Structure 1
């Protein structure tokens, strides 16, 4: 099998064979799901008697299916639920699966994440929306795929996503536990996502101020950084002890940590409405409380024998004007900055009769969905809002893009633009497609790449890249295979037009004979790294085995072993066996 039909094929032919096999695998999975759905339709019955049984028709069918597939009935039951969801709930997604365009992994996530949607009209809209985007979700990791699915569901049926209000209401933070030692204190709890991102960024900023000779471990450094933040300090003193340490030159008061949250106008409008509704409810409750207190005071002040005059109907307390939540950004801020893309055109639903509210999407760093209630809490806490800067036709005159240009490119791409990579844009380099100065510093010539892929594109042989004005990147591999990646913002902000100016034809730089000599080097080879990891793991296993051997000793032997380990005592003499009056055996 592994030799037949593949011998003598070159790399492009082998890659084409792999692509065909993947498509055939998806089609075979779709046929299996269709057969399972038909089996469920024929075998699973519903009646008032058998449904009360532990061994009902569903578990019986699942056990029969598990026997055929040589798997557990729980896994077979999951396959049955996926098959039924594709047949009855997501027909358009099922059609893509049958055409071999979606993987089994993605199908499992789609059917699971949409299981809470009950409204048939909403389910039809979600089926259409997911089918339009699902083919671009294949390269995403499980976490990013979950975020993309939740973003679609959040737009039309927020109740089908885990309700953020319950998480926000369950916030807590505690300091100290009953079993803490004297010198250390345990802290734990839950905070808002925006605050967590700010805290992580401040910790990372403090750690950057330390030199490599600081004797503390990374864990201890993080703990001390949190202590510095608690004390109101914005720098962490290095403990290398060198008078020439550059880390000691940190200027107090220079902290400028900003966490950017990308939100579309629909999300900001929904948040403003949510804040207004919350304020109005609070005002109504306060007015009712004051009215009841006033009536109670009048009743107590008047004698019981006199008729109590009916109080005039008081005018309903008018809510105060909605507070402006857009705060001018300060020079130094540690609150979340709300940035929004260009105005988003409303997407008309496929069924105009279904009045579905688009509540928009907001993204935290790392492409994590920020629920609207959490976004409202951030704005209430003073987060500034500003419109994302849109670039013009003219390029910038320098190699390094400006902060506003970098923010636009990262917001447009959201991920690394290498095929199949989903590293968030904030952890990527900004790379010129056509190297500078042959290619300008312009968004039509810039995209995000993680450092590994940036080096591969720069130094490896055969990779070719072309970027269109809308941000689409056309890749050609060394084997001649063509791949296309689109901006990640298309997944979360489909109405945002990311098209920038079209650049004139650019000349490619001449070949550099010393290009490979400039390739960054590893600290040690991959084989040496693997050998080191194996050595560490074997030493760990040996240590654990020695500890188990010591635990099996007598209490006296274990006590002496502890003294040898910690007090440097000489090892105890081996105990002589007691043979009684018999001579020792020789």
Structure 2
């Protein structure tokens, strides 16, 4: 009995300490959020005084926090928005959070439920919800708070629903090992309609011998709806499958993806990773499978390599291109060839931590284009263009105009240094060449060329719109270009 009593005392001590640590963490989370929000107010006021547009002032704060703390810009944005809510709408929740009585997860739950509540409803319920959250987990907080809001203001439910529906979205983020996570908020009826349609397809369009789980079939059914085929193809492999497609099998639309892959990898001579824009590295075999169904854009002519130096076998070609493009360089908008090349080299927005694909980004002049005298300003060339999403394009333009305290410095090899107003800095390098020109080539696993890959399952079918991109681009480069880049890296 003594051992049992000792064990219970030890467990109680551990639980008590665990609760204390959890509370301490909540206090620190509250302080961190308050500091982020304070920095946002400071930057916003400074930028408004410098003439920055009302809607844009302060938006660089999340990027600044991302550089300082090595966190994602999206995470910083979310915490700043939550902090503003605690300041302006949820005083009781803020107090409980600062005292460590509730943690960040429960603060998020309260904010999510009350975000569209009227001021009158907040006055009645916010302190009640905050007090209840001290003894309930986030799911119960959301469930009961929703019930209390409906009881307190049944007439306002329609307005709250419309406000929530206005915030609907579909988003996709990269996961591990060649997969993605689809996140969506839909109107209730629409969301249920989507799920029921996926369930019908998963149960009714394949036979009982299909090897996939019900979850896998629902995932494949969603892709089938997106790629235009509109139905699942049974994978049982039987000639007498009762669910076999009668007549010509549906053909998926071509993929709206941007993939960069070296010619050597595509030919099976190497197994270097390929670059899927907005996602990152994908394995060589998946790149080859996508390429079997892709439209190709072969880019061989170039005035420079990734580091801006002429290639060994492209000097004569570069001279010819330079003469041809001399007039184009004096125009603000780049030619299609220059734009494709610049985006292929950068791969994604060049701001720290930003994952917006280059194909969905602006092309920004790194040395400013002089509209009054194009001969004197930064020219519209591959070497002088960089991919910037709209948000970070604004940040750099304001920095160039000395209106936000930032410095954006361009170094050799297309390296870009982003220096915050407090002196913190991060340097980004082009993402494309890391995959297209690897320092250490990976030899192929299969000797003798490209292996015969099995057909892609629907979840990886080339018809799926993996990213909201605007073009398809498969980037080739000559062996001479690759050798020149490798020689340059070996000297670093």
Would you call these one fold, judging by a TM-score over 0.5?
no
What range is the shorter-chain TM-score in?
0.3 to 0.5
Provide TM-score, normalisation by structure 1: 0.29
